[in-house]
Amino acid sequence: MSASPAQATPLPRLLVSVRDPAEAEAARLAGVDLVDAKDPERGALGALDTRTVREIVARVSGGAVTSAVAEPTPRDVAAMAASGVDWVKTGIGPAPRGDGAALAALAAAAPGRLIAVLFAEDGPAAALVPHLAEAGFAGAMIDTAGKRGARLPDLAAPADLAAFTAACRDNGLMSGLAGSLRVIDIPSLSAYAPDYLGFRGGLCRDFDRRNGIDPLRVAEALRALRPSRRDAA
Ligand SMILES: O=C[C@H](O)COP(=O)(O)O
């Protein structure tokens, strides 16, 4: 007997971007699955310094998976990997997309731990996924480069998001979707079965990603992602 669609589609886990050890600890205590270190004052992919990331990793203390943004050079990726973070995220803009050697050099700097961040503004991403897998990336996320206007659901067509997450599954890559998401987006984006949904601004006070994270909004997101789990209440 085949499983029902509801049983067959696992719910995504919650990624929340934090900027310092205090926010990291708050996110861990709230029950966030993945604590992602980045500087929200510096756009979509602002890298924190490795010392701050080490402190964040120490504060999370194994209570959640961790990731951190690094500039897209092998040197920066390797330095961030050495901070002890579980995953390193780096932006892959249009330029290196077709350059397999450049992608492989990045992936080799954090073997098995590098996540490509692709921007929705650059167009559909599914065709790039096999190249990322071949280069040695461990996962891929779509985010939005702009943080003051269009959100991911405004920029990416449903068919493109579905094709992206399917390509990640087919190629053995972890997948994530982000881009000024709100809790209300969780049901529709969960249908694409990404491994993670990523948030910052949508869980901050006044929905401003430069403000602090609002624990009540984190709890709301966890309830939406874990409707049957008592620990999300
Ligand atoms: O990796 C996820 C991003 O930090 C999401 O940030 P945002 O929700 O403010 O677009």
Residue 2, pLDDT above cutoff 60: no
> What pLDDT, on a 0 to 100 scale, did the predictor assign at position 233?
43
In a 3-state reduction of DSSP, which class is residue 16?
A: strand
Going from the C-alpha of 7 to that of each of 2, 4, 137, 171, 228, the distances in angstroms are 10, 5, 29, 22, 13
What is the SS3 assignment for 14? strand
* Residue owning tokens 């500087």: 39
- What is the full DSSP assignment across 160-224? HHHHHHHHHHHTT-EEEEESS--GGGHHHHHTT--SEEEESGGGBGGG-TTSPB-HHHHHHHHHH
Ligand 1 atom showing the smallest separation from residue 147 Cα? 10
Tell me what pLDDT residue 95 has: 61
Q: Pocket of ligand 1, candidates 16, 17, 23: which has the most ligand atoms within 8 Å of its Cβ, to mutate?
A: 17
Query: Rg of the chain's alpha carbons, rounded to an integer?
Result: 16
Closest Cα to atom 2 of ligand 1: 198
Distance (Å) from CA 51 to ligand 1 centroid: 22
Q: Give the pLDDT score at 149.
A: 80
What is the domain partition of the chain in residue ranges?
Answer: 11-227
Of the candidates 19, 54, 59, 89, the residue annotated as catalytic is: 89
Mean pLDDT of 143-160: 92
* pLDDT exceeds cutoff 60 at 211: yes
**What's the pLDDT at 97?**
65
* H or E element at residue 139: strand 139-143
For the chain, the average pLDDT equals 92
Prediction pTM value: 0.92
Which pLDDT score, from 0 to 100, does residue 227 have?
Answer: 77
Helix (H, G, I), strand (E, B) or coil at 108: helix
The answer to whether 89 is a known catalytic residue is yes
Query: Are the beta carbons of 231 and 50 closer than 8 angstroms?
Result: no
ipTM strictly over 0.90?
Answer: yes
Q: Give the number of the atom of ligand 1 that is nearest the alpha carbon of residue 141.
A: 1
Q: What is the mean pLDDT of residues 114-118?
A: 97
Q: Do 65 and 34 meet the contact criterion of CB atoms below 8 Å apart?
A: yes
Whether residue 83 contacts residue 50, with contact meaning beta carbons closer than 8 Å, is answered with yes
Per DSSP, the three-state class of 29 is helix
Q: Predicted confidence band at 232 (pLDDT cuts at 50, 70, 90)?
A: very low
**Lowest-confidence pick of 25-29, 83-87, 179-183, 208-212:** 208-212
Mean pLDDT within 3-20? 78
The answer to whether the beta carbons of residues 206 and 167 sit under 8 Å apart is: no
Query: How far apart are the CA of 3 and the centre of ligand 1, in A?
Result: 33
Confidence at 8, pLDDT banded by 50, 70, 90: low
Does 11-227 carry CATH code 3.40.50.720? Answer: no
Res 94: pLDDT? 72
Between the CA of 112 and the centroid of ligand 1 the distance, in Å, is 23
In sequence order, the β-bridge partners of residue 87 are 67
Q: Which residues line ligand 1 (CB under 6 A)?
A: 15, 17, 36, 38, 143, 147, 178-181, 198-202, 209
Average pLDDT score over residue span 199-212: 93
